[in-house]
Amino acid sequence: MIIEQSILESLYSQFVGFIASHTGESFSSFEKSGYLNGEENYKYKVYEEARENLANKYWKSEDIGTGKIQQKVSSAIKARVNYRHEMVDNNLVNWRQKDIFSKKAISKSLEDLCFNFYKSNIKDNDAFGLFLNEGLSYQFTAYLFFIKNKDKFLPISQERFDQIFKQIGLAEFKTSGNGSWENYSEFCAIIKQVQTFLKTKDSKATLLDAHSFLWILGNQMLTQAHLPPAIINHVTEKADLAQVQALDIPHPLTLTESVETLPVIEVDEKYADELPTESLDELFEGAKRTITVNAYERSQKARDACIAYWQAICAVCGIDFEKVYGDIGKGFIHVHHLVKIADIGQEYAVDPIRDLIPVCPNCHAMLHKSEPPMTIEALKAKIRTNTAR
């Protein structure tokens, strides 16, 4: 799959502008960027720590079946690093998967596989399938490849990267539910293309820098509504948005109504995420109140379009209620307004992808603990800081 260079040029220009607006710096390189060093470059430290904890050069064949190799791998995935005077967790693989692996019973076949993989006694394509056969997830297996060689392989967050690939015009490429060597190879090859492009801007740009560039593009930049309408519209035109289009929302995903035409409606307060921000402090459990809300708040179509595009996953903490609670959690999520309600005038055009973002109830409440509401990235930074203590 080939990425159009014009798309990368446009997005790179926005990336440079985004960093300048946040730090005042004129972006010159991934290595020297203050913003990258604060947000993404900890991954290099995680890699170094993981390699040190893995210590595979000291493994011996007689260790296979003793549990020593599994313990070393577990230590490599749980790596916590001192980065810029703060303890940072390894968030490149889901914590539940780390926990599952650390509790695995000693398996001679798994230790034999790890031994041969890290000693390069087995082909990468064969090893990938065997890791999956051992019950390891796609994300976990990708991380094992990443800590083998960061210059060839990368960590993956399937659902997030599927959205990112839409932004770069590759909506047809899906990693979610497609765990295989062929899919992972294509994933790495796509990011290699991005690296090749970035090297025209920064000759020292690495594969991991390309990974960080895409991550910022699809998370920090988009959740803070930093991409211009031209880019958003390009994404919606290129992406596979059958679910969104089925909602019968006018392209490019905007809704406009006059506040004066709105009826008075009754809302159950347990769905407080749909109510005006300024009303939250007045609500109490189990109550119902008749209130007037504007089109921006009451538009179920906009809410559904937001969730159809971003999926019911918290943009802050990453919780997927269906994965945690099963069927009862399917589709459950709050929707946060990136445009402050008080700033909406008599008429407002809602872009469900640019103006709305799914968040869990806890993170939604925390976003509104300050006035104006905290940004998505500011709250994520607080979580990183406090969980590292």
Which residues sit opposite 334 in a β-bridge? 359
Residue type, 174: K
Do 207 and 267 fall into the same domain?
A: no
Residue 125: inside a domain, yes or no? yes
Residue 325: inside a domain, yes or no? yes
Do 191 and 42 fall into the same domain?
A: yes
Q: Give the number of other CB atoms < 10 A from CB of residue 214.
A: 22
Do 293 and 165 fall into the same domain?
A: no
Omega before residue 352 within 30° of 0, cis: no
Report the distance separating Cα 247 and Cα 301, nearest Å. Answer: 7
Q: Which residue has the tokens 């990708």?
A: 142
The answer to whether 157 touches 169, Cβ cutoff 8 Å, is no
Q: Which of 191, 155, 204, 195 is nearest to 31 (CA)?
A: 204
Do 116 and 163 fall into the same domain?
A: yes
Do 222 and 265 fall into the same domain?
A: no
CA dihedral angle for residue 251, residue 256, residue 262, residue 266, rounded to 10 degrees? 50
Do 221 and 312 fall into the same domain?
A: no
SS (H, E, C) the chain: CCCCHHHHHHHHHHHHHHHHHHHCCCCCCCCCCHHHHHHCCHHHHHHHHHHHHHCHHHCCHHHCCCCHHHHHHHHHHCCEEEECCEEEECCCCCHHHHHHHHCCCCCHHHHHHHHHHHCCCCCHHHHHHHHHHCCCCHHHHHHHHHCCCCCCCCCCCHHHHHHHHHHCCCCCCCCCCCCCHHHHHHHHHHHHHHHHHHCCCCCCCCHHHHHHHHHHHHHHHHHCCCCCHHHHHHHHHHCCCHHHHCCCCCCCCCCCCEHHHCCCEEEEHHHHHHCCHHHHHHCCCCCEEEECCCHHHHCHHHHHHHHHHHCCCCCCCCCCHHHHHHHHHCCCCEEEECCCHHHCCCECCCCCCCCEEEECHHHHHHHCCCCCCCCHHHHHHHHHHHHCC
The answer to whether 270 touches 313, Cβ cutoff 8 Å, is no
**pLDDT score, position 64:** 97
Residue 235: inside a domain, yes or no? no
Q: Which residue has the tokens 């019950």?
A: 135
Residue 48: inside a domain, yes or no? yes
Backbone angles phi, psi at 351, to 5 degrees: -105, 105
Residue 134: inside a domain, yes or no? yes
Residue 323: inside a domain, yes or no? yes
**pLDDT score, position 38:** 87
Do 153 and 302 fall into the same domain?
A: no
Do 184 and 43 fall into the same domain?
A: yes
Do 339 and 378 fall into the same domain?
A: yes
Do 70 and 113 fall into the same domain?
A: yes
Successive 10-residue mean pLDDT values, the chain, 389 residues: 93 92 88 90 92 96 97 88 72 81 94 97 97 95 96 93 92 93 97 97 96 91 51 39 44 35 36 36 37 46 82 89 90 84 54 83 89 84 74
Q: Give the number of other CB atoms < 10 A from CB of residue 240.
A: 12
Do 218 and 292 fall into the same domain?
A: no
How many folded domains does the chain comprise? Answer: 2
Do 332 and 195 fall into the same domain?
A: no
Q: Which of 367, 274, 353 is nearest to 307 (CA)?
A: 353
Last residue of a domain, one of 208, 230, 252: 230
pTM: 0.61
Last residue of a domain, one of 176, 206, 230: 230
Q: Which of 225, 229, 190, 192 is nearest to 209 (CA)?
A: 192
Q: Identify the domain containing residue 281 by its residue range.
A: 241-387
The answer to whether 108 touches 65, Cβ cutoff 8 Å, is yes
What CA–CA distances, in Å, run from 192 to 160, 171, 196, 205?
18, 17, 6, 11
What CA–CA distances, in Å, run from 164 to 13, 65, 251, 340?
17, 41, 20, 25
Last residue of a domain, one of 230, 262, 279: 230
Residue 299: inside a domain, yes or no? yes
The answer to whether 202 touches 28, Cβ cutoff 8 Å, is yes
Residue 236: inside a domain, yes or no? no
